[in-house]
Amino acid sequence: MANDRWTPDPTSPVYVYLQVAHHIAEQIRTGRLPVGARLPAERDLAEQYAVAINTARRAVRELRDQGLVITVPIKGTFVQAQESYSEPSEDGGPNA
């Protein structure tokens, strides 16, 4: 994943892990990271963004909490499809 030499802004009032998460989220939203794309390992993310490993972990956790990525043990972290809000079914039940 190319991050275009992005670095966190140390003068920003926003936590660094959130800055990293916002940058990755923006890449997902713009399609630079398509659905199914594998994110680099947390250690690699830390190196790419010039942050501590725990900062990279918190950024990935934030992306998971937002539903943008899913982590599969042993496999890695992947961009997941965003669920669109569908119209309710005619009978109002979830399994129509």
**Strands annotated E in 1-96:** 69-72, 76-79
Q: Which two tokens stand for residue 7?
A: 């670095």
CA distance 44 to 36: 18
Read off the pLDDT of residues 45-74 as tens digits, 9 standing for 90 and up.
999 999 999 999 999 999 999 999 999 999
Using 50, 70 and 90 to split pLDDT, how confident is the model at 3?
A: very low
Q: Give the pair of three-digit tokens for residue 41.
A: 């390992």
pTM for the structure as a whole: 0.79
Smallest CA-to-CA distance from 57 within 16, 26, 25, 29 is with 16
Query: Following DSSP, what letter does each residue of 44-58 receive, concatenated?
Result: HHHHHHT--HHHHHH
Q: How confident is the model at residue 88 (pLDDT cuts 50, 70, 90)?
A: very low
